[in-house]
């Protein structure tokens, strides 16, 4: 089926104890699309990404990757968590880049990228090394292959983390505020890599507070408000015609900083 | 000069006379320590995995074991393993009873240290390992253990030192390890101070070697920073 969306979330619910964090999220990501989640702190952006990658267990609704339900199986009206092996296999089809990089500190940059290639995809050492080198070159770090994470700057670490995720050739890449922990002068190099990935046709779902970047790179922007989608659409629609007061005031905070540039684009 | 040192009644002469017994005792001390350390390390890590990642009932069982072992004097455990089990018709050689008791005791310490070490690895590490699709055993083996191991080293060296010292307790159930071997020599020549001193120096050297080995391993992991 050519029309099956790459990722489809239907009425996704998630609670932590008493607190309902996601109150029914419906979201579609098509092959090659870049979709961005924006919203105030605590609106559930991270939680949603973590549900997609099965780091959290959503407790209602379903998430389909290429039409397959993620994490759960419904049989005889009963919803059952998939086995650990099936879940790991599903996670391998989705890449994730974290705010805090989370590189493996005991492995070099090259080994960080190679680990999943050899232990999940079953590539041989030589092939994995070549793949790793290719992607480290793509993020501009070919000569840092043998460096340990502590020998790299934050921006470089984050680029290695992106190489590690994308080298697995995932169907979908998730980015959760991947520039928030970086010094301002290192943000551009990471955004540059992400933009290049987007232009190469990678399907991406990202959370970001870099509104200029979101506006420029996204095909579709989703505004989350208190666990619900309050507005979504093409970047120009969302940024230029905020329907709710909440979105207006959310964007207003950024206008204060980048007002001129946002209005220009 | 040498002649007067080597006359009967001199320390060197008596030590030379007793060399076979003393060396055998040293061998028993080293072997029982080694076996106990290996048992404690393997079982301790397995139990540590249960403590950190097990189903709730497994965690509970492991927790019970650890707390029980930490509450019992080692000597009581050694005596129980040797005499107590015999009452139930289970007869084990004194040497192995001692090794099992020491190993079982130290298992609890290794397990607890493992749990602490695993918990000190940032949660993001496990999540990053999940995100690339590694299965649980591989996440453990390739991501968590290498990092936890570094943090486990200092307490693990301590456990090793405790075990070596603990082997002296095996003399009570008749295992002729270094201490009992030394005492047997004293019973013959009454050179009590000399031979206790000799044993003391031997224990110090063994433990110094273990501590050095630990330090060496620690330096091998010095790249592990966040
Ligand atoms: N493990 C957890 N246990 C309990 N509550 C949680 C947990 N994780 C998140 N929450 C709560 O869920 C809500 C949504 O959190 P989430 O991290 O998804 O927000 P966010 O939109 O990513 O915010 P931010 O922009 O600050 O990153 C918050 O109120 C948070 O306190
Ligand atoms: Mg967040």
- pLDDT for A255 equals 63
- pLDDT for B105 equals 95
A55–B128 C-beta distance less than 8 A: no
User: Does any domain span residue B10?
Assistant: no
Judge whether residue A243 has pLDDT over 90. Answer: no
Q: Is the pTM of this model over 0.90?
A: no
Judge whether residue A75 has pLDDT over 90. Answer: no
Ligand positioned closest to the Cα atom of A176: 2
Specify the range with the lowest mean pLDDT, choosing from A209-213, A261-265, B35-39, B175-179. Answer: A261-265
A98–B130 C-beta distance less than 8 A: no
Architecture of domain A5-93+172-264: 3-Layer(aba) Sandwich (3.40)
Distance from the CA of A184 to the center of ligand 2, in angstroms? 19
User: Does any domain span residue B19?
Assistant: no
Mean per-residue pLDDT over chain A, rounded: 91
User: Does any domain span residue B165?
Assistant: yes
Half-sphere exposure of A105 (CA within 13 A, CB side): 19
- Residue nearest to ligand 1 atom 5, measured at CA: A16
Nearest CA in chain B to A165: B132
Judge whether residue B222 has pLDDT over 90. Answer: no
B147–A95 C-beta distance less than 8 A: no
Q: How far is B210 from chain A (nearest CA, A)?
A: 24
Query: Domain residues for B60?
Result: 25-220
User: Tokens 């989350």, residue?
Assistant: A224
- pLDDT for A86 equals 92
B140 pLDDT tier (thresholds 50, 70, 90): very high
Report how many domains make up chain B.
1
Q: How far is B24 from chain A (nearest CA, A)?
A: 42
Specify the range with the lowest mean pLDDT, choosing from A26-35, B16-25, B197-206. Answer: B16-25
User: Does any domain span residue B35?
Assistant: yes
Judge whether residue B36 has pLDDT over 80. Answer: yes
Of A89, A105, A165, the CB nearest to B224: A105
User: Does any domain span residue B13?
Assistant: no
Average pLDDT for A173-193: 92
Residues of chain A with CATH 3.40.50.300: 5-93+172-264
Judge whether residue B22 has pLDDT over 60. Answer: yes
Of A85, A95, A106, the CB nearest to B131: A95
Judge whether residue A263 has pLDDT over 60. Answer: no
Long-range contacts formed by B74-77: CB under 8 A, 24+ apart: B74/B101, B74/B102, B74/B105, B74/B166, B74/B169, B75/B169, B75/B172, B77/B101, B77/B104, B77/B105
Using a CB-CB cut-off of 8 Å, the residues of chain B touching A106 are 146-147, 150, 221, 223-224
A96-126 pLDDT per residue, tens = 999 999 999 999 999 999 999 999 999 999 9
User: Does any domain span residue B17?
Assistant: no
Residue B186's CATH number? 1.10.3720.10
In DSSP terms, which residues pair with A29 in a beta bridge? A7
- Residue nearest to ligand 1 atom 28, measured at CA: A42
Share of chain A above pLDDT 70, in %: 95
Find, among A16, A10, A8, A13, the residue nearest to A65 by Cα.
Answer: A8
A153 pLDDT tier (thresholds 50, 70, 90): very high
Q: For residues B185 and B127, is the Cβ–Cβ distance under 8 A?
A: no
Judge whether residue A244 has pLDDT over 80. Answer: yes
A1-39 pLDDT per residue, tens = 557 899 999 999 999 999 999 999 999 999 999 999 999
Judge whether residue B201 has pLDDT over 80. Answer: yes
- Cα B68 from chain centroid (whole Å): 18
User: Does any domain span residue B160?
Assistant: yes
């Amino acid at each position: 089926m050519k029309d099956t969306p790459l990722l489809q979330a239907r009425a996704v619910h998630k609670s932590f104890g008493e607190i309902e964090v996601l109150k029914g999220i419906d979201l579609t990501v098509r092959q090659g699309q870049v979709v961005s989640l924006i919203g105030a702190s605590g609106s559930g952006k991270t939680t949603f990404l973590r549900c997609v990658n099965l780091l959290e267990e959503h407790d209602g609704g379903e998430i389909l990757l290429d039409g397959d339900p993620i994490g759960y199986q419904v049989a005889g009206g009963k919803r059952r968590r998939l086995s650990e092996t099936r879940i790991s296999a599903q996670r391998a089809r989705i890449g994730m880049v974290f705010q805090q990089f989370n590189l493996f500190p005991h492995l070099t940059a090259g080994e960080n990228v190679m680990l999943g290639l050899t232990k999940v995809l079953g590539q041989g050492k030589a092939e994995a090394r070549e793949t790793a080198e290719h992607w480290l070159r793509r993020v501009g770090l070919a000569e840092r292959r043998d460096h340990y994470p502590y020998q790299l700057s934050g921006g470089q670490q984050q680029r290695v983390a992106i190489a590690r995720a994308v080298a697995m050739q995932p169907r979908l890449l998730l980015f959760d505020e991947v520039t928030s922990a970086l010094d301002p002068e290192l943000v551009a190099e990471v955004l540059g890599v992400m933009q290049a990935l987007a232009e190469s046709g990678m399907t991406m779902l990202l959370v970001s507070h870099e509104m200029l970047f979101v506006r420029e790179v996204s095909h579709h922007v989703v505004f989350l408000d208190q666990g619900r989608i309050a507005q979504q659409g093409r970047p120009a629609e969302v940024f230029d015609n905020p329907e709710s007061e909440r979105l207006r005031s959310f964007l207003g905070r950024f206008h204060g900083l980048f007002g001129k540039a946002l209005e220009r684009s | 000069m040498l002649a007067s040192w080597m006359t009967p009644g001199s320390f060197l002469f008596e030590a030379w006379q007793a060399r076979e017994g003393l060396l055998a005792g040293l061998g028993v001390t080293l072997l029982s320590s080694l076996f106990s350390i290996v048992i404690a390390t393997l079982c301790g890590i397995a139990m540590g995995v249960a403590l950190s990642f097990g189903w709730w009932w497994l965690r509970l069982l492991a927790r019970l074991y650890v707390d029980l072992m930490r509450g019992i004097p080692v000597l009581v455990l050694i005596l129980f393993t040797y005499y107590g089990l015999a009452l139930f018709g289970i007869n084990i050689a004194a040497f192995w009873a001692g090794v099992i008791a020491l190993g079982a005791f130290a298992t609890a310490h290794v397990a607890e240290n493992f749990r602490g070490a695993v918990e000190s690895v940032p949660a993001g590490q496990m999540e990053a390992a999940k995100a690339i699709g590694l299965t649980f055993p591989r996440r453990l083996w390739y991501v968590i253990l290498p990092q936890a191991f570094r943090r486990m080293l200092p307490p693990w060296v301590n456990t090793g030192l405790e075990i070596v010292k603990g082997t002296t307790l095996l003399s009570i159930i008749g295992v002729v390890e270094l201490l009992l071997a030394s005492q047997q020599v004293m019973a013959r020549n009454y050179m009590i101070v000399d031979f206790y001193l000799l044993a003391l120096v031997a224990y110090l050297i063994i433990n110094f070697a273990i501590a050095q080995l630990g330090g060496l391993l620690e330096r091998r992991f010095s790249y592990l920073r966040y």
